[in-house]
Structure 1
């Protein structure tokens, strides 16, 4: 049986689940929720870098991204930061939707699937 690795498992989620070389992250939100959209997004991307590195991979190995924004009008700003963060030609399959967030101060949440 293949081993499932859970990073920092809690009662309702793990930060990352790894199985057969696939890395599934939680939905990552900014640590400072009073920050503006670009600052929150940059923080989320930095946290994703750290989670991927912890599992021996990086953003060149992304397969899929799911992105939730509080206001779809922030999508242009998101795309600017997103394309700067992604290596050229390495964009994953992606969805980006407007959503009601669990905390109204959360402006963006990103979840990715990657491989080693």
Structure 2
């Protein structure tokens, strides 16, 4: 049976799950909810970098991304950071939608899948 590696497993989710060379991240959100969408997006992208590195991969190996925004009007600001963060020519398949968030102060949540 193949091994499943769970990082920071809690009662309702794990920060990351690795299986057969694929790394599935949780929906990452900012810790400082007083920041605007730009600040929150910067925090989220840094979290993604850290979790991917912990699993021996990085943003050059992204396969998919799901992005939830509290206000779809924040898409241009978030996209500016997203595009600057992504290596050129290596964008994953992606969805970006407006959504009700678990906390009204959350402005962005990003979930990615990468391979090793």
Q: TM over 0.5, yes or no? A: yes
The alignment status of 1:8 with 2:15, answered yes or no, reads no
Within 1, Cα distance between the matches of 2:78 and 2:102? 20
The alignment status of 1:62 with 2:62, answered yes or no, reads yes
| 1:14-67 C-alpha deviation (Å, 9 max, x unpaired) | 000000010000000001011111000000000000000000000000000000
Structure 1, unaligned stretches of length 5 or more? none
Within 1, Cα distance between the matches of 2:68 and 2:33? 15
Q: Which runs of 4+ in 1 moved over 2 A?
A: none
* Alignment correspondent of 2:22: 22
* Alignment correspondent of 1:98: 98
Within 2, Cα distance between the matches of 1:105 and 1:38? 13
Mapping for residues 44-59 of structure 1, pairs under 5 Å: 44-59=44-59
TM-score (norm 1): 0.99
SS in 2 for 1:28: coil
SS in 2 for 1:87: coil
* Alignment correspondent of 1:42: 42
| Number of matched pairs | 116
Q: CA deviation at 1:68?
A: 0.1
Within 2, Cα distance between the matches of 1:45 and 1:56? 16
* Alignment correspondent of 1:75: 75
